[in-house]
Structure 1
Amino acid sequence: MATNYGASSNDNGNGALLAGVVGFGLGIAAAVGRKAAVQAITASAGDWFEGLKAEHKLAMGIIETLEKTTEEDTKKRAALLFSLQHALGKHAIQEEDVIYCALRASGEVEAANELGQDHNAEVKQGLYDLEQIDKASPAWLTRLQELKSDIEAHVREEEDVVFPKLYASLSEEENKKLTKRMNFEGFKVA
């Protein structure tokens, strides 16, 4: 007598297919939940400007935690650097793909281009350098402090000069649309 270790003769593999579909659905739900949790800090801030300020604060908090590490904390530095890269990467996408475009549309082309250049020339290069430098090297912390200085200058320009001007130039409805668009963009890459 043959033993049937697989699906029953009248199952025809439907159980395995159903399990695959359920597993896929659960995976999608988990991914959506994770993305929502990551974007929650920004979305709960209210509008696009407050959301970006909250993200600036989050990134600076990660940097301050990194500054407290020692040369022996190589794994902690690597993990925190990964968190910083993700936070700043999502943040850059929101600014570059939405906010800087709105700046250009409002006539602030030079400001948008300069801020975008800051992201590429200073922030992305700094993150790359930190990834390449030995986490136990004293040069690592020195490069982190240089990156922090670059980010602080960039944040001051955005929060104190450029973004307030853009926010004030838009109607309440336009600011709501910009907030919605920015949060959607952030959710996509969260």
Structure 2
Amino acid sequence: METIYDILKAEHDQVAELFQQALSDGSKVSFVKIRIKTDPHMMGEEKFFYPLLEKKEELRDLVSEAYKEHNEAKALISEMEDMDERDENWTAKLSELKQSIDHHVQEEESKVFERARNALSQKEAEEIAQQYIEFKRSYMNRVETGEPLA
């Protein structure tokens, strides 16, 4: 059965591909695709994965850092929402966002996942995966139907 690590890693890879496209074409459309992928990803991690990890003392510092990195990415995404792709700072902001997310992904995959695998059972990792998948399914249904996301 799929674990939360499998799902998050696959999504990290998808976002990396979306960044390649966005940096190649510089379009707002490509940026929006990144946002559509990262918004529920970060929300799901913060709702299901990180709270469980915070219960483990040896993971608290890493999780705290992960929240900070999410907040940095969210701030950049919010800033870019109001920008036009023809803005002279657009490409620089997109690169800054990519660097921020790349750093977060590297830290998460090399440190958080490794320590979490030692702290959580296989069953717990699979259960979190199911909760995360259900959350994302519900989130995307709300996006498609125009329901509020909060």
Higher relative contact order (CA 8 A, sep 6+): 2
Gaps of 5+ in 2: 141-150
Instruction: Choose from 118, 122, 133 the match for 2:69.
Output: 118
Greater Rg over alpha carbons, structure: 1
Q: Is the 8 A contact 2:2 2:126 kept in 1?
A: no
**Matched position secondary structure for 2:70:** helix
Q: Distance in 2 between matches of 1:96 and 1:82?
A: 21
- % identical aligned pairs: 24
How is 1:48-127 mapped onto 2 (pairs within 5 angstroms)? 48-70=4-26, 77-107=27-57, 108-120=59-71, 122-127=72-77
Q: Distance in 2 between matches of 1:163 and 1:106?
A: 13
Gaps of 5+ in 1: 1-44, 71-76
When normalised by structure 2's length, the TM-score is 0.85
Q: CA deviation at 1:172?
A: 2.1
Q: Distance in 2 between matches of 1:175 and 1:137?
A: 43
Q: CA deviation at 1:123?
A: 0.6
Instruction: Choose from 117, 128, 134 the match for 1:167.
Output: 117
How many residues were matched structurally?
A: 139
Residue type of the alignment partner of 1:57: D
Q: Is the 8 A contact 1:53 1:159 kept in 2?
A: yes
When normalised by structure 1's length, the TM-score is 0.68
Q: Is the 8 A contact 2:69 2:104 kept in 1?
A: yes
Question: Aligned residue for 2:146?
Answer: none
Residue type of the alignment partner of 1:58: Q
**Matched position secondary structure for 2:89:** helix
Q: CA deviation at 1:165?
A: 1.0
TM-superposition CA deviations, 1:109-155 (whole Å, max 9, x none): 222122112111x1111111222222112310011001111111100
Q: Distance in 1 between matches of 2:38 and 2:95?
A: 16
